[in-house]
Amino acid sequence: MSEHAHESVMVNEVLESLVFEKDGLYVDCTLGAGGHSQKILEKLNEAGSLISFDKDAEATKNLSEKLSNDKRFRVVHDSFSQLGSYVKKESVQGILIDLGISSTQLDNPERGFSFQKEGPLDMRLDITKGISAEEWINTAHKSEIENVFWNLGEERFSRKIAKRICEVRSKETIKTTKDLTKIVLSCVPRRTKKHPATNIFRAIRMKLNKELEELYDVLEAASYALSYGGRLVVISFHSMEDRIVKRFIQGKDRIRTSVEFSFVGDKFIKPSLEEVRRNPRSRSAILRVAEKVA
């Protein structure tokens, strides 16, 4: 079970930027523990509605009573990149994307997301699809492991860690979060407060869940689904994600859409010091708000 209930990030900032038409249709792409979804519904009137997505069946099954009893609410167990299959073109007034994983997922050792808790190496958001971290780490080619650690983890010791993984797995299967953490610690000197396995665990999670590909896809889907004047609100937790969001809003790196957005208010918003003090996991959050203009 999780140690901490997930605390939604920058709730007031999200609501102020997202909800403008109380009778509108809104989409929360990342339901998680439902905190943002609940607050959005509280701001809507009887005619408003909300569709919330999550890839993780645990999130879509464990709805609060309030959410499951609300007739204006619909939950979808699917990837947010599939948004376009659930809503009509230009029908949505606001879309929220709160990237990453929730504390509920991170703190559950069975999911394998945390190097601080011993558990099976899984790391899939949707455990019904794709391969687990155990399968990947024990079968992927050394050069692929190295590239993932270098590109997604920005890990200086990527080569050394990949080599060590291949040596260890030739003798025994790497099975648990502790096995992997031990390997990383044997390769990376501990110089700062940041745990040396942080980058490696994040990189594997991003790879297995195709997180950057999904982000490109949901931004494209959002530009199709939003009405003109509709708001796109994205919270990222890593500079790689934030860069994709920023460049998309600026009209760069697009593949399938020429829709124009303009930034609303400040180019980005960070959580207040008070919020970071209360919820240290919010410290790396960065919020961007854009309006579909043409």
Ligand X SMILES: C[S@@+](CC[C@H](N)C(=O)[O-])C[C@H]1O[C@@H](n2cnc3c(N)ncnc32)[C@H](O)[C@@H]1O
- Token pair 């994600």 is found at 241
Residue 70 C-beta: closest distance to ligand X, Å: 15
Of 101 and 226, CB closest to ligand X: 101
Residue 24 C-beta: closest distance to ligand X, Å: 19
Of 81 and 108, CB closest to ligand X: 81
> Rule CB under 6 A: is residue 79 a binding residue for ligand X?
yes
- Cα(24)–Cα(95) distance, rounded to whole angstroms? 11
Pick from 18, 44, 101, 269 the residue near ligand X by CB under 6 A: 101
> Rule CB under 6 A: is residue 6 a binding residue for ligand X?
yes
- Cα(26)–Cα(24) distance, rounded to whole angstroms? 6
Pick from 10, 41, 51, 59 the residue near ligand X by CB under 6 A: 59
- Cα(4)–Cα(108) distance, rounded to whole angstroms? 10
- Cα(181)–Cα(55) distance, rounded to whole angstroms? 26
Pick from 13, 98, 122, 155 the residue near ligand X by CB under 6 A: 98
Q: How many residues in total does the chain contain? A: 294
> Rule CB under 6 A: is residue 55 a binding residue for ligand X?
yes
Residue 101 C-beta: closest distance to ligand X, Å: 5
Of 57 and 293, CB closest to ligand X: 57
- Cα(293)–Cα(191) distance, rounded to whole angstroms? 47
- Token pair 């890990």 is found at 155
Residue 12 C-beta: closest distance to ligand X, Å: 13
> Rule CB under 6 A: is residue 222 a binding residue for ligand X?
no
> Rule CB under 6 A: is residue 125 a binding residue for ligand X?
yes
Helix H or strand E encompassing 169: helix 158-169
Q: Please check whether residue 60 is in contact with residue 126, taking contact to mean a CB–CB distance below 8 angstroms.
A: no
Bridge partners, residue 97, by sequence: 234
Write the DSSP assignment of 32-68 as a string of letters.
Answer: TTSHHHHHHHHHS-TT-EEEEEES-HHHHHS--HHHH
> Rule CB under 6 A: is residue 275 a binding residue for ligand X?
no
Pick from 10, 19, 24, 35 the residue near ligand X by CB under 6 A: 35
- Cα(153)–Cα(140) distance, rounded to whole angstroms? 16
Enumerate residues 130-159 that contact ligand X by CB under 6 A.
none
Enumerate residues 189-218 that contact ligand X by CB under 6 A.
214
Pick from 10, 26, 27, 30 the residue near ligand X by CB under 6 A: 30
Strand order in the sheet with 73-77: 73-77, 49-54, 25-28, 92-98, 226-236, 286-292, 261-263
Pick from 27, 70, 95, 102 the residue near ligand X by CB under 6 A: 102
- Cα(145)–Cα(170) distance, rounded to whole angstroms? 15
> Rule CB under 6 A: is residue 87 a binding residue for ligand X?
no
Q: Which residues bind ligand X (CB under 6 A)?
A: 6, 8, 30, 32-36, 53-56, 59, 79-81, 98, 100-102, 125, 214
